[in-house]
């Protein structure tokens, strides 16, 4: 009896827990967007607040305004006048000692992640970490490493090894390309596997592997 009851409880958790976490994350994101919008509207006279004009409070209004702001900014920055304005704005920021390194690093990171030409976080890799014989999932972030590439004397790749269940933190590991296995799974599938502590494993057929190596290269004998 207890065994069946436990099975039913677990089945119920598998149904409700993902739904609860999904709604919690969405409500958290919507709350952040609504929060900044409320601070903006607080600068306006009370009669011009959306709640006063419409007579009702609309949850998620910050999401709509955020999307409109992003679209408007994108359209403006894509034309000649907008690009000139952005260059002037960035030149002003470059003259501020404390702001310059922070802004430059964030801008570079955003360009790498969101650019269609970027290779960052587009490939899921399998590397031996934290020691040989133990495997970790990693994401390729860059293969152009400049001085690191030259001084290592090898063809190396920069990878990000996320922690679980929070994949936003992790470690940057520079790995020789010959010691990397490139996986067929998509980035979102790898993230699901990491967040679920390895419980949610993407389906895979052996014939999908193509010409990729199935095992790590053997360590050369000394």
Among 19-23, 82-86, 142-146, 213-217, the minimum mean pLDDT is found in: 213-217
**What does the DSSP 8-state code read for residue 93?**
H
At residue 117, the pLDDT reads: 60
Neighbours of 7 (CB within 10 A): 10
Per the CB < 8 A criterion, the answer to whether 85 and 55 are in contact is no
State mean pLDDT over 185-196.
89
Give the SS3 label for residue 98.
Answer: coil
| C-beta neighbour count of 125 within 10 angstroms | 22
The ranges assigned to domains in the chain are 35-78, 86-117, 124-203
* CA dist., res. 169 & res. 160, Å (int): 9
Top mean-pLDDT range of 14-28, 49-63, 125-139, 140-154:
125-139
Quote the distance between the C-alpha of residue 183 and its chain's center. Answer: 18
Q: What are the DSSP calls for 100-152, one per residue? A: HHHHHHHHHHHHHHH-TT--TT--EEEEE-SSTT-EEEEEEEES--THHHHHH
Taking all residues of the chain, what is their mean pLDDT, rounded to a whole number?
81
Q: Given this model, what pLDDT does residue 4 score? A: 77
């Amino acid at each position: 009896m207890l065994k069946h009851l436990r099975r039913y409880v677990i089945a119920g958790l598998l149904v409700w827990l993902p739904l609860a976490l999904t709604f919690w994350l969405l409500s958290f994101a919507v709350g952040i967007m609504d929060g900044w919008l409320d601070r903006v509207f607080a600068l306006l006279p009370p009669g011009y607040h959306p709640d006063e004009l419409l007579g009702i409070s609309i949850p998620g209004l910050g999401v709509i305004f955020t999307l409109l702001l992003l679209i408007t900014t994108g359209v403006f920055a894509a034309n000649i006048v907008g690009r000139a304005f952005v260059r002037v704005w960035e030149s002003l920021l470059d003259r501020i000692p404390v702001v310059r390194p922070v802004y430059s690093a964030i801008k570079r990171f955003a360009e790498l992640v969101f650019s269609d030409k970027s290779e960052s976080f587009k490939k899921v890799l399998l590397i031996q970490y934290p020691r040989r014989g133990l495997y970790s999932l990693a994401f390729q972030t860059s293969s152009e490493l400049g001085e690191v590439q030259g001084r290592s004397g090898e063809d190396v790749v920069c990878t990000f090894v996320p922690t679980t269940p929070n994949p936003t933190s992790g470690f940057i590991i520079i790995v020789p390309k010959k010691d990397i296995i490139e996986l067929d799974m998509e980035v979102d599938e790898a993230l699901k596997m990491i967040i679920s502590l390895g419980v949610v494993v993407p389906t895979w057929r052996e014939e999908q592997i193509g010409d990729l190596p199935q095992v790590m290269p053997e360590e050369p004998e000394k």
